[in-house]
């Protein structure tokens, strides 16, 4: 019996197993996230004793190891069950029946959310958006994804697991015989609703890479600059300019990192590209490497997408075997480039490029001080290009078809096509590849969401839009978005949506800086006051004021955008707030709740109030 089979203190002999894990990563502290992921998999938690061994092997202090272990949601400092069920608790899942599904899991397992069964068999927990909003409610069962959950389906799943089936067996009885791609598409639907000319239509394999080899690095970058391509991860930075900065920085090593963290709630386009266009993505990374002079690359895959790991490893191996990765790519002497897959472990902030680099370095996923920017000092201090999955796929296509072809699509300032992830209250949730410049209304018509009352464009860090402005255009200059389009019908409660997203940001703030760490908690509490009917009209000004401070003083993009759900709904749905706020009349504050006001003091004093307790006999 290995230590992993008992949920408790690690059994004797654990040191050897932990040491073995560390050895398999050359005891390299920069591989801490991989080491701790493996320890978690083996023992189902990271005990203090195991941290001590990891610290000794990697030459770090125990507190440094604990800092990493306690940062990531998928690493645990308490024993977890053999099977961990993580229900996606995104608001889209909640509206698609998550409460009933949760109840059914809880009943079938006999535990609540956040608990582990006493036999160490199962843990049940909530996790934010796992990128399956088009087939919600969805969950991760260990490394397997299950979608379109219902209470009946849930009961059947638990019964099968209890009878000794592996999570993989839930997907297909022949799971082991399927190819990695078959496994992925059996678990998760692609839901490609509209294929455009650039990414999801037909494309000649590695044609872009072949062309790139005939060009100087500077010409490759020029091609991208001329195409007008801008980053698809949300910030929209011109890709060619980013590559040029990295290429022009003197350095011994340079890196290309693909950002496949896709954590913005409501976004799932990268999932589809990783599944259906993995070669195009690696081709794009290889072209980037050629352009900036990088020999090493990393593909940072969010922990939630672990079900795509085998597929991606297979693609990498295949390309190495065909001379498309490794030394002397396509027979070009000195063109050496290879890619390592880095898995995340449940942290939205790791999508921020500095935090992503920290995470790749084996640190807690905290953003880095800027300047310096990654293009001058990135991974391990070397110039690093970080690009989104979609951006890199576009780059490969641009090198194939030319900058003019791409530039001519879309609109002024927003060239080419964009993948939109549409989910929520619409008939056809899924992926739409469209040229920039369509109106939100046109997209909603395609997706069968024209009855929407509110649409969240760009996820919670974007903006909530009301019906009267659905004619706005999906471009960088109007409604900029990393691609998330979340549709809400008139039956949805706007304040419930806002409160959920604020709790998301509270959960995902890294905690490094004061305004985001503390301010978001204060915002969440203030929104809760509105929902409970305990807000005053002054609280509207309070929300705006506090939001302003958080936006202006936060250290990274998370805090700079986290008040957006509040600010955009205050602007576009003002009645939702004013209807809930109660003005004070004649020196009496309706919203003042004496019971909750004295509750803290009551607990401290360990006695009840004769004056204010309604029923003292209770």
Partner 1 sequence: MSDFTFTIDEIEIPAKEGQTIMEAADAAGVYIPRLCDHEGLRHQGGCRVCTVKAAGRSVSACTQPAEPGLAVENETPHINKLRRDLVEMLFHEGNHLCPICEASGNCELQAMAYRLDMTEPTRFPYLEPCRPVDASHPDIALDTNRCISCGRCIRASQDVDQKGVFGYVGRGIHRHVAANGPDLAHTDAEITDFAISDEVCPVGCIIRKRVGFVTPIGEREFDKGLIGRKISEKRNA
Ligand X SMILES: Cc1cc2nc3c(=O)[nH]c(=O)nc-3n(C[C@H](O)[C@H](O)[C@H](O)COP(=O)(O)O)c2cc1C
CB neighbours of 373 closer than 8 A, spacing ≥ 6?
A: 245
Closest CA to 131 of 277, 307, 256, 257: 307
Give the total residue count for the chain: 618
Least Cβ distance, residue 263 to partner 1 (angstroms): 14
d(CA 248, CA 38): 38
Per rule CB under 6 A, is residue 591 in the interface with ligand X? no
d(CA 532, CA 540): 15
d(CA 464, CA 370): 29
Question: Of 18-26, 202-210, 233-241, 417-425, which segment contacts ligand X by CB under 6 A?
Answer: 233-241
Contact 429, 316 (CB under 8 A): no
Judged by beta carbon distances under 5 to 8 A according to partner kind, the member of partner 1, ligand SF4, ligand X, none in contact with residue 235 is: ligand X
Judged by beta carbon distances under 5 to 8 A according to partner kind, the member of ligand SF4, ligand X, partner 1, none in contact with residue 522 is: partner 1
Closer residue to ligand X, CB minimum distance, 76 or 564? 564
Judged by beta carbon distances under 5 to 8 A according to partner kind, the member of partner 1, ligand SF4, ligand X, none in contact with residue 542 is: partner 1
Residue 453 corresponds to which tokens in the numbers above?
Answer: 């009352």
Closer residue to ligand X, CB minimum distance, 93 or 261? 261
Interaction mask 350-379, ligand X, x per CB under 6 A:
-xxx--------------------------
How many Å separate Cα 481 from the centre of its chain?
15
Closer residue to partner 1, CB minimum distance, 363 or 465? 363
Interaction mask 64-93, partner 1, x per CB under 8 A:
x-xx--xx----------------------
d(CA 602, CA 434): 59
d(CA 355, CA 369): 10
Closer residue to partner 1, CB minimum distance, 452 or 535? 535
Judged by beta carbon distances under 5 to 8 A according to partner kind, the member of ligand SF4, ligand X, partner 1, none in contact with residue 552 is: partner 1
Closest CA to 392 of 524, 239, 284: 284
CB neighbours of 289 closer than 8 A, spacing ≥ 6?
A: 256, 295, 297, 337
The CA radius of gyration of the chain, in Å to the nearest whole number, is 25
Per rule CB under 8 A, is residue 501 in the interface with partner 1? no
Per rule CB under 8 A, is residue 512 in the interface with partner 1? yes
Helix, strand, coil shares of the chain, percent, nearest 5, are 45, 15, 40
Question: Of 321-329, 380-388, 414-422, 565-573, which segment contacts ligand X by CB under 6 A?
Answer: 380-388
Q: Which of residues 342-381 bind partner 1 (CB under 8 A)?
A: 347, 364, 369, 371
Per rule CB under 6 A, is residue 73 in the interface with ligand X? no
* Angle (deg, nearest 10), helices 494-508 and 564-572: 160
Contact 522, 484 (CB under 8 A): no
The three-point CA angle 15-16-17 to 5° equals 90
Closest CA to 240 of 279, 289, 307, 288: 288
Least Cβ distance, residue 367 to ligand SF4 (angstroms): 5
Least Cβ distance, residue 188 to ligand X (angstroms): 18
Least Cβ distance, residue 77 to partner 1 (angstroms): 9
Closer residue to partner 1, CB minimum distance, 61 or 218? 61
- What are the strands, taking DSSP E only, across 368-441? 384-388, 410-411, 414-415, 417-424, 430-435
* Alpha-carbon dihedral sign for residues 9, 13, 16, 20: negative
Per rule CB under 6 A, is residue 387 in the interface with ligand X? yes
Interaction mask 301-340, ligand X, x per CB under 6 A:
----------------------------------------
Interaction mask 550-589, partner 1, x per CB under 8 A:
--xxxx----------------------------------
Which residues bind to ligand SF4, rule: CB under 6 A? Answer: 349, 367, 509-513, 516-517, 554-556, 558-559
Judged by beta carbon distances under 5 to 8 A according to partner kind, the member of ligand SF4, partner 1, ligand X, none in contact with residue 353 is: ligand X
Q: Which of residues 258-297 bind ligand X (CB under 6 A)?
A: 259, 261-264
Residue in the block written with tokens 């056809």: 428
User: Number of residues in contact with ligand X, rule: CB under 6 A?
Assistant: 22
Least Cβ distance, residue 561 to ligand X (angstroms): 7
| Secondary structure class of 188 (helix, strand, coil) | coil
d(CA 190, CA 259): 20
Residue 586's CB is within 10 A of a number of other CB atoms, namely 4
d(CA 128, CA 265): 8
Judged by beta carbon distances under 5 to 8 A according to partner kind, the member of ligand X, partner 1, ligand SF4, none in contact with residue 261 is: ligand X
Question: Of 263-271, 412-420, 549-557, 568-576, which segment contacts partner 1 by CB under 8 A?
Answer: 549-557
Closer residue to ligand X, CB minimum distance, 40 or 259? 259
Least Cβ distance, residue 507 to partner 1 (angstroms): 6
Per rule CB under 8 A, is residue 390 in the interface with partner 1? no
Helix (H) or strand (E) holding 576: helix 574-578
Q: Which of 429, 430, 557, 563 binds ligand X (CB under 6 A)?
A: 557
d(CA 361, CA 71): 14
Q: Which residues bind partner 1 (CB under 8 A)?
A: 48, 61-64, 66-67, 70-71, 347, 364, 369, 371, 506-515, 517-519, 521-522, 525, 542, 546, 549, 552-555, 600
Q: Which residues bind ligand X (CB under 6 A)?
A: 231-235, 237, 259, 261-264, 349, 351-353, 386-388, 391, 556-558
């Amino acid at each position: 019996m290995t230590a992993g089979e008992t949920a408790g203190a690690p059994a004797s002999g654990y040191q050897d197993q932990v040491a073995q894990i560390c050895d398999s990563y050359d005891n390299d502290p920069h591989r801490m996230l991989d080491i701790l992921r493996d320890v978690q998999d083996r023992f189902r938690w990271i005990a203090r004793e195991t941290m001590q061994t990891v610290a000794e092997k990697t030459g770090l202090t125990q507190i440094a190891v604990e800092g990493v272990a306690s940062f990531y949601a998928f690493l645990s400092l308490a024993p977890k069950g053999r099977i961990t069920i993580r229900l996606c608790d995104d608001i889209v899942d909640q509206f698609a029946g998550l409460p009933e599904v949760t109840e059914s899991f809880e009943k079938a397992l006999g535990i609540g959310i956040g608990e582990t069964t006493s036999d160490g068999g199962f843990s049940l927990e909530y996790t934010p958006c796992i990128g399956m909003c088009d087939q919600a409610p969805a969950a991760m069962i260990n490394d397997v994804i299950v979608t379109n959950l219902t209470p009946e389906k849930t009961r059947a799943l638990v019964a099968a697991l209890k009878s000794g089936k592996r999570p993989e067996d839930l997907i297909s009885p022949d799971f082991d015989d399927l190819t990695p791609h078959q496994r992925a598409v059996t678990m998760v639907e692609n839901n490609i609703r509209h294929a455009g000319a650039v990414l999801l239509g037909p494309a000649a394999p590695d044609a872009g890479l072949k062309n790139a080899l005939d060009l100087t690095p500077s010409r490759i970058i020029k091609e991208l600059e001329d195409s007008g391509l801008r980053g698809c991860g949300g910030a929209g930075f011109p890709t060619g300019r980013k590559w040029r900065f990295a290429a022009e920085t003197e350095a011994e090593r340079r890196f290309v990192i693909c950002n496949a963290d896709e954590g913005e709630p409501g976004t799932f386009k990268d999932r589809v590209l990783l599944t259906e266009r993995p070669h195009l993505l690696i081709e794009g990374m290889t072209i980037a490497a050629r352009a900036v002079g990088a020999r090493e690359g990393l593909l940072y895959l969010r922990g939630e997408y672990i079900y795509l790991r085998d597929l991606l490893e297979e693609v990498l191996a295949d390309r190495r075997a065909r001379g498309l990765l490794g030394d002397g790519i396509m027979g070009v002497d000195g063109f050496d480039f290879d890619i390592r897959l880095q898995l995340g472990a449940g942290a939205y902030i790791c999508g921020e490029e500095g935090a992503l680099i920290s995470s790749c370095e084996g640190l807690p996923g905290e953003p880095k001080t800027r300047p310096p920017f990654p293009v001058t000092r990135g991974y391990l201090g070397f110039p690093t290009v970080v690009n989104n999955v979609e951006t890199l796929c576009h780059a490969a296509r641009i090198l194939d078809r030319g900058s003019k072809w791409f530039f001519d699509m879309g609109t002024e300032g927003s060239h080419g096509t964009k993948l939109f992830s549409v989910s929520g209250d619409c008939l056809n949730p899924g992926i739409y590849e469209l040229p920039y410049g369509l109106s939100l209304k046109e997209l909603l018509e395609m997706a069968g969401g024209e009855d929407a009352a509110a649409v969240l464009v760009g996820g919670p860090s974007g903006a909530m839009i009301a019906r009267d402005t659905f004619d706005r255009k999906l471009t960088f200059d109007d409604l900029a978005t990393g691609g998330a389009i979340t549709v809400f019908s008139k039956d949805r409660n706007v304040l419930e949506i806002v409160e959920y997203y604020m709790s998301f940001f509270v959960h995902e703030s890294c905690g490094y800086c004061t305004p985001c760490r503390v301010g978001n908690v204060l915002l969440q509490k203030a929104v809760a006051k509105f929902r409970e009917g305990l807000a005053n009209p002054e609280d509207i000004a309070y929300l705006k004021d506090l939001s302003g401070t958080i936006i202006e003083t936060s250290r990274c993009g998370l805090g700079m955008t986290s008040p957006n759900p509040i600010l955009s709904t205050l602007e576009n749905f003002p009645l939702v707030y004013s209807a809930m706020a109660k003005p004070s009349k004649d020196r009496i504050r309706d919203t003042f709740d004496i019971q909750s006001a004295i509750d803290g003091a009551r607990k401290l004093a360990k006695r009840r109030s004769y004056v204010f307790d309604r029923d003292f006999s209770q």
